[in-house]
Amino acid sequence: MAQSLPPAQRTASPPPTPTRSNSSAPTAPAGPRTAQASVPQTNGPQAPPDQGPAPAGSTQPTTHAALDASAAVARAADAKSAPPRLKVERVDAFYGSSRAVKEVNLDLPDRFVTAIIGPSGCGKSTLLRCLNRMHETLPGARVTGEVTLDGQNIYGREVNVTVVRQQIGMVFQRPTPFPTMSIYDNVAAGLSTLPKMPKHARVNEIVEKALRRAALWDEVKDRLRDSAVGLSGGQQQRLCIARALAIEPEVLLLDEPTASLDPLSTQKVEELVYELRRDMTVVIVTHNMQQAARVSDRTAFMLHGDLVEVAPTGELFTTPKDQRTEAYITGRFG
Ligand code: ADP
Ligand code: MG
């Protein structure tokens, strides 16, 4: 079983050196970590201030680099040996007769963050929606192939779709709080879909826990009954993450969760994503390669509906196996 890294190993590493001579750096990272990288950094955001003091000696950049590199290698090895939590097999996704996702096979190991990158329109969101049966809710859309959660096909005939969507939660590109509901009610909203609605006191606990996990509690604890639309965009997105977390999913799917956020909010969401893998399997779609490098353990590259390559994140960004991946990460198209 993969373990979360201790804080000392989660601090930012120096950027990996691309091995290709013609590599131009992707665009600058969105967050305040900009100063640290001109190419993707691997192994997570800087430790947020609330993670406690770093162990003695850990302020040495070389120490960080060494820890990060070995930790990344260890995690990559873990990912290969860990049984996948979610397994995608021969998945095709259609809109009418148009095939947007083509024969995708992908293993998503437990307690790892997998990023899906690729140019606009390559099928990232479509693939993500196939992972919790949201794709089929669109008109004319259908899916073939199998997606198994802990060995059970979520497309099986006997499967309850509501339960699938509880086990595999999703957060969309634009924050989607329920506008007429309070902050509290937004977080509690998903609980009514559970087989048994928890008692009132328990709901209070669940709401607080979800808001804490989404790093929003301190900002909203004194105004839980206020309308959710009074929150900033970044707070609304964390609220949506809290809503997804309240029903304790096993897998969390995030579709460009920071696309509409400012840099500070982006950083908060990235730190949160990085932390969530302590408890769950996370899949994040992003068009931002620095973000993929900062938050993910593994990265999958898609192009024209094909999953071209999946590899440990540091490996994919420094030594891609496929020419198309190399062309994309070095900025030759996209
Ligand atoms: P990405 O998330 O990588 O930008 P999408 O998964 O949204 O890509 O889209 C993949 C392809 O499917 C694109 O060609 C897009 O035009 C098409 N597509 C996406 N959503 C729909 C839809 N609701 N109806 C028809 N075609 C769609
Ligand atoms: Mg998309």
Is the per-residue pLDDT at 23 higher than 90? no
Provide the pLDDT confidence category of residue 333 given band limits of 50, 70 and 90: confident
| Pairwise CA distance, residues 249 & 226, whole Å | 26
From 91, 97, 98, 287, the mutation candidate for ligand 1 (largest count of ligand atoms within 8 A of CB) is 98
Residue 29 lies in a domain: no
The DSSP bridge partners found for residue 285 are 116, 255
With respect to residue 12, please indicate whether it lies within any of the assigned structural domains: no
Q: Is residue 70 part of a domain?
A: no
Q: For 217-246, what is the mean pLDDT?
A: 96
Report how far residue 301's alpha carbon sits from residue 299's, in angstroms, rounded to the nearest whole number.
7
Mean pLDDT over the full length of the chain: 82
- State pLDDT tens for residues 129-176: 999 999 999 999 999 999 999 999 999 999 999 999 999 999 999 999
Instruction: Output the pLDDT for position 307.
Output: 98
Asked if residue 122 has its Cβ within 6 Å of ligand 1, the reply is yes
Q: Please give the distance, rounded to the nearest whole angstrom, from the Cα atom of residue 322 to the centre of ligand 1.
A: 24
Q: How many domains does the chain have?
A: 1
Q: How far is the CA of 175 from the centre of ligand 2 (A)?
A: 14
Residue 6: CB atoms within 10 A of its CB come to: 13
pLDDT band at 71 (very low <50, low <70, confident <90, very high): low
Q: Which of 49, 51, 41 is nearest to 7 (CA)?
A: 51
* CA pair distance 273, 113, nearest whole angstrom: 8
Give the CATH number, domain containing residue 270. 3.40.50.300
Q: Is residue 319 part of a domain?
A: yes
Residue 297 domain-assigned? yes
Atom 26 of ligand 1 has which residue's CA nearest to it?
95
The whole model's pTM is what? 0.81
Ligand 1: which residue has its CA nearest to atom 14? Answer: 121
What is the model's pLDDT at position 66? 39
Which structure tokens are listed for 88? 């995608």
Q: Are 288 and 263 in contact (CB under 8 A)?
A: no
> Which ligand does the CA of 100 lie closest to?
1
Pairwise CA distance, residues 30 & 263, whole Å:
5
How many whole angstroms separate alpha carbon 20 and alpha carbon 207? 48
Q: What tens digit of pLDDT does each residue of 112-121 get? A: 999 999 999 9
The residue type of 16 is P
Q: Domain range for residue 284?
A: 79-329
**Domain-embedded: residue 30:** no
Say yes or no: CB of residue 126 within 6 Å of ligand 1.
yes
From the alpha carbon of 302, which atom of ligand 1 is closest?
3
Is residue 269 in a domain?
yes
Instruction: Reply yes or no on whether the pLDDT at 11 is more than 50.
Output: no
The answer to whether residues 214 and 164 touch, using CB atoms and an 8 Å cutoff, is no
Cβ proximity of 266 and 30 under 8 Å: yes
Q: Tell me, using a 6 A CB cutoff, whether residue 124 lines ligand 1.
A: yes
Question: pLDDT for 208-228, tens place per residue?
Answer: 999 999 999 999 999 999 999
Query: Does the pLDDT of residue 75 top 60, yes or no?
Result: yes
Instruction: Evaluate if residue 206 carries a pLDDT over 60.
Output: yes
At residue 50, the pLDDT reads 34
Residue 23 resides in a domain:
no
Block residue for tokens 């509906």: 305
